Structure 1
Amino acid sequence: MASNGNDGDIKSSFSFSDFPEDVQICILSFLDQSELGTFASTSKRFLSLCLHDQRLWFSMCDRRWGRSKTLINKWGNGKISYKLLYKTLLEYENLIGFWRRCGTSAGTAVQPSSPLVFFEWGPFYITGSRVSPSKTGTYEVIKLPFLWISLTSKGESINYLDREGKLELSENLVDSGELSVLDNDLIPVNVSFMGKCHVVLEESVISIGNSLNSSSSPNGRFIKVHSSGNVRGEEYEDVSGSPGSLPDRLMSEIYQHFANRTSPGGNGSSRRQRRREKEKQGRRKLEPEHFVKIVNCSPTPARPLQGLWKGIGDDMSLEFYLTSYDDIGGIACRRIEDSSRPFNGYNPVFWTSSTTLIEPPFSAEEEYEYHSRVHLRPPAEADDCHDHLQRSDHGAVSRMLHMTSSYDLVIPGTTINPRQVEGRIWQYRNGTYGFGFLRNNYVIDLKHIAQDGHLLDTMEFSND
């Protein structure tokens, strides 16, 4: 306690070292890894605390992920250090959210590969699921888990591709390390980052037990690949930064040559045995799959139309849409389709050069444009006369925006009837929106695909 000499003005001063250790740990748990490293350099005591105290690393893991995302004491069957867990989950965290597949893929044995992938936290793992519109004529989406990412009790990364989407993961099953022999449809894979927004999945050529000795996979976690160049131009709107380029054929062949070598003294017999077993099964080695992250998949107050949406199209089937604000001040909406289809990335559903939404009251002509249209809805909802979004649905629209279609982008300068290319966007009071062209008499109303990190209207995939 320090005093300035005045009886009525006494001030107390404490250093950080004067606080109880549990209070110190609580305060330090608010820091990130780099900030903690800076603090550790202030004294030998704090260096030891920051490097080795498991209570601190537990608190850091619990504060960042344990409150609502995952069960941190279940990872690695509760036998790994929390410092290792923190570093691992920090890498895994970048996976969480929506990704879009680029390039071709054979998909699973029971379902073609969806272009949209969703990664989410599990109790002691991360699940990657392929997300596709259902064929039921409803807003339901098919969620098919295909990738499991976890840790063994030795701190080794364990990543498996589940071809059938039927695996039910348990702690003991992960820790046993016997997933590879549990089912012929489980394939060990490597998850390789090329920057923060480009991920590659490729079949692993080494066993889990040897992964820690691989120079390309330090600590058994994700591989980081640095590359120059760019991904295809159609993916630019989905990512930030410049992901690496896809490997060309020559480099791919060189990589495969060295990756499949059997080193002297290594576990060559087990590799050859696994190769023979795969050959007996008649299964070819999986081709790598590339995914690009969708970084702006939710609306914001400044960009209310942004994000991933779903809606019933004019053929009464469910479709996915991605709406983004571009660098030249416009708004573009595209269907999320198989990127292997020619030119699909260059065909926006609509585009508008203005982002200024018009506030009500609207003119009589604009009121008529909205209320004279039929809203496309699933048949089950359309049969309900109360929930048909009838033409007297006053008050639903909060703001409006004029738009143009892709016609004047593809054929610039072409003289076309304005009603063939112009349209309207109507933002609703609940935060969703609908759009329609003047040439049609309907509105496609869009709904959210996910909310608060969870998929909406999911359904189980059936083989029947």
Structure 2
Amino acid sequence: MANSDDTNLKIDVETISSSSRSFTFADFPEDVQLCILSFLKPSDIVSFSCTSKRFVSLCQCDSKLWFSLCDKKWSSKTQIRKWGNGKIGFKLLYKTLNEWENLIGFWRRIGQGNVVISTSPLVFFEWGPCFVTGSRVLPSKTGTYRVIKTPFLWMGLSPSGDPVNFLDPDCRFESPEDFVRAAELGVSDCDLVPINIGFTGKSHVVVEENRSFASPYSPEQINKGLRRSSSSVNVGGDDSGILEDVAGEESPSSGSLPERLMSEIYQYFANRTSPSGDRASRRQRKKEKERQGRRKWEPEHFVKVVNCVPTPSRPLQGLWKGICDDMNLDFFLVTYDAIGGITCRRVGDPSEPFSGHSPVFWKSNTTFIESPFSAEEEYLYDSRIHLRPLASVDPIHGYPPFGDNEVVSRILYINSSYDLVNPDFTESSDNSRHVGGRVWQYANGTFGFGFLRNSFIIDLKHIALNGCLLDTADIS
């Protein structure tokens, strides 16, 4: 009996010992290892690859690990198997898309460059099936909520992994896919401009002509793959150091001034201190004019429009569109400052001086008045007309009939730009410059605003939702 108990005890101890034995990462099958690694950041994969020679090859597994990383991050946005005609390695693809992803969204042009004066400063970058496109976005002049989207810039990859970036200065394409079919549309190769996309940090990009090519390239060249662009993304060449490159969040040159700009600054001060500075300066200006005369495209600078989406703590922030008192559509940008204040500005028409600078309304204290509202506030809202498109009576677009009031959830007191000089004085004054107003936030998350001197409310709608432009109009 004792022997039987000893035997059972021995078996139990062995069972417990074997079941409690710890497993290392190397004990798992390779498929499980790759699955676990696919959840890591590239920087973590780099660190892990240094632990053993076996794991180096595992971390460089292009068809499994890096495909999985690309698939998880971008498969819902673009067709990763079609980039570079399906011939580019996924390590190279990850490196490129990881940097280009920061482009997605709205950007605002600063300066005029060579853009037509009536062109909107607003640009929208989005994913295509196997490319990224940039489109200029304009409010329609048809008295509707529709926006005009005109693609003008295309970014792709050749089969060898080189960036292939070009634009059409006249914005004649009706869809992003038309860039690829440019030859079929009768667009000659001299109409397309090869470009570089220069990144300065994450909020500033420069689009400039790539003058390293003898002539602009044609769509036929795109299919064959072009020699390297001088874009800030270096995805061509061999795979040496690719893990370290992919792991970096920003280019080493991020935040630094372009080399050509530094050269020009140095030349300027050298001319100022040189005895022959005047003559050298004149020669420099002459050369610059000659160089500009050969240009097809002047550099354009864009800054990113951050915080485009409202949040619970900042319910009004973002890009909005609304019908103004002239019954034309306009774009508005609402931003919150570091101390809790709020400012609404038009994304202005460049033909109007300071249109994008002076505030439409502002408020230093963003404390809302909650329901129930006083009889005076109810009257202020009910006595005003909602400015909406006449076409909004069409139920196809889902807009409420003209004049129907939304359900107001909260009210915010606002001031206009006139009050920036002395808000205390204007609040207590009865003069004609008293331009206090209200923001009426609706239950559906949108809002309208109006001023006491006017009898209308400008209702604002979203320009984009979930990364897609709403109500895009046919260019034709």
Specify if TM > 0.5.
yes
State the 1:113 CA deviation. 2.6
Q: Is the counterpart of residue 332 in structure 1 residue 343 in structure 2? A: yes
Q: Which has the higher contact order (CA 8 A, sep 6+)?
A: 2
Q: Is the counterpart of residue 448 in structure 1 residue 456 in structure 2? A: no
State the 1:105 CA deviation. 3.5
Change beyond 3 A, Cα 1:216–1:307: closer
5+ residue gaps, structure 1: 230-243, 255-277
Q: In the alignment, which of 417, 423, 434 is matched to residue 430 of structure 2? A: 417
Change beyond 3 A, Cα 1:412–1:195: same
Which runs of structure 2 are paired with 1:420-431 in the superposition (5 Å)? 420-431=434-445
2:59 maps to a residue whose letter is: C
State the 1:18 CA deviation. 1.7
Quote the residue 2:280 is aligned against: none
Per-residue CA deviation, residues 299-357 of structure 1 (Å, 9 max, x unaligned), is 01111111000000111100000001112221100000145753334300000111122
Quote the residue 1:265 is aligned against: none
Quote the residue 2:68 is aligned against: 59
Greater Rg over alpha carbons, structure: 2
Total equivalences in the alignment: 415
Q: In the alignment, which of 359, 365, 369 is matched to residue 376 of structure 2? A: 365
Measure, in 1, the Cα distance between the counterparts of 2:74 and 2:256.
33
Change beyond 3 A, Cα 1:171–1:90: farther
Contact 1:211/1:220 (8 A) holds in 2? no
- Alignment partner of 2:378: what SS? helix
Measure, in 2, the Cα distance between the counterparts of 1:447 and 1:46.
52
Q: In the alignment, which of 97, 107, 122 is matched to residue 89 of structure 1? A: 97
Change beyond 3 A, Cα 1:210–1:378: closer
Measure, in 2, the Cα distance between the counterparts of 1:173 and 1:115.
25
Measure, in 2, the Cα distance between the counterparts of 1:45 and 1:166.
53
Measure, in 1, the Cα distance between the counterparts of 2:86 and 2:451.
57
- Alignment partner of 2:81: what SS? coil
State the 1:290 CA deviation. 0.5
State the 1:36 CA deviation. 0.8
State the 1:389 CA deviation. 2.9
Measure, in 1, the Cα distance between the counterparts of 2:446 and 2:260.
36
Change beyond 3 A, Cα 1:212–1:121: same
Quote the residue 2:38 is aligned against: 29
| TM score, norm. by length of structure 1 | 0.79
Measure, in 1, the Cα distance between the counterparts of 2:252 and 2:386.
47
State the 1:431 CA deviation. 0.4
Quote the residue 1:270 is aligned against: none
Measure, in 1, the Cα distance between the counterparts of 2:229 and 2:377.
67
Measure, in 1, the Cα distance between the counterparts of 2:111 and 2:342.
25
Per-residue CA deviation, residues 173-192 of structure 1 (Å, 9 max, x unaligned), is 59x99999844321111100
Q: Is the counterpart of residue 15 in structure 1 residue 15 in structure 2? A: no
- Alignment partner of 2:67: what SS? helix
5+ residue gaps, structure 2: 1-10, 218-224, 238-249, 269-290
1:442 maps to a residue whose letter is: F
Contact 2:437/2:452 (8 A) holds in 1? yes
Q: Is the counterpart of residue 41 in structure 1 residue 50 in structure 2? A: yes
- Alignment partner of 2:339: what SS? coil
State the 1:358 CA deviation. 1.6
Q: In the alignment, which of 99, 122, 126 is matched to residue 107 of structure 2? A: 99
Per-residue CA deviation, residues 365-413 of structure 1 (Å, 9 max, x unaligned), is 00001011000011223699971234xx3x7101111111111114667
1:86 maps to a residue whose letter is: Y
2:48 maps to a residue whose letter is: F
- Alignment partner of 1:57: what SS? helix
Contact 1:138/1:318 (8 A) holds in 2? yes
2:80 maps to a residue whose letter is: I
Q: Is the counterpart of residue 187 in structure 1 residue 196 in structure 2? A: no
Measure, in 2, the Cα distance between the counterparts of 1:165 and 1:181.
12
Quote the residue 1:233 is aligned against: none
Q: Is the counterpart of residue 387 in structure 1 residue 396 in structure 2? A: no
My pick for the range that moved more, 27-36 or 365-374, is 27-36
Which runs of structure 2 are paired with 1:62-81 in the superposition (5 Å)? 62-66=71-75, 68-81=76-89
Change beyond 3 A, Cα 1:147–1:224: farther
Measure, in 1, the Cα distance between the counterparts of 2:263 and 2:473.
39
Contact 1:190/1:223 (8 A) holds in 2? no
Measure, in 2, the Cα distance between the counterparts of 1:104 and 1:316.
27
- Alignment partner of 1:349: what SS? strand
Measure, in 2, the Cα distance between the counterparts of 1:420 and 1:17.
74
Q: In the alignment, which of 234, 238, 242 is matched to residue 218 of structure 1? A: 234
Change beyond 3 A, Cα 1:23–1:139: same
Change beyond 3 A, Cα 1:220–1:312: farther
Contact 2:163/2:229 (8 A) holds in 1? no
Change beyond 3 A, Cα 1:352–1:217: closer
Contact 1:375/1:442 (8 A) holds in 2? yes
Change beyond 3 A, Cα 1:75–1:404: same
State the 1:60 CA deviation. 0.5
2:365 maps to a residue whose letter is: S
Measure, in 2, the Cα distance between the counterparts of 1:223 and 1:338.
34
1:121 maps to a residue whose letter is: W
Measure, in 2, the Cα distance between the counterparts of 1:63 and 1:171.
28
Change beyond 3 A, Cα 1:406–1:214: closer
State the 1:43 CA deviation. 1.3
1:104 maps to a residue whose letter is: Q
1:62 maps to a residue whose letter is: D
Q: In the alignment, which of 429, 436, 447 is matched to residue 433 of structure 1? A: 447
State the 1:456 CA deviation. 0.1
Per-residue CA deviation, residues 426-450 of structure 1 (Å, 9 max, x unaligned), is 1001100000001111100000000
Quote the residue 1:142 is aligned against: 148
Quote the residue 1:240 is aligned against: none
2:446 maps to a residue whose letter is: T
Measure, in 1, the Cα distance between the counterparts of 2:231 and 2:142.
48
1:125 maps to a residue whose letter is: F
State the 1:211 CA deviation. 5.0
1:417 maps to a residue whose letter is: D
Change beyond 3 A, Cα 1:127–1:157: same
State the 1:215 CA deviation. 9.7
Change beyond 3 A, Cα 1:212–1:117: same
1:357 maps to a residue whose letter is: F
State the 1:286 CA deviation. 1.4
2:69 maps to a residue whose letter is: M
Measure, in 2, the Cα distance between the counterparts of 1:78 and 1:443.
52
State the 1:453 CA deviation. 0.4
State the 1:126 CA deviation. 0.2
State the 1:461 CA deviation. 1.5
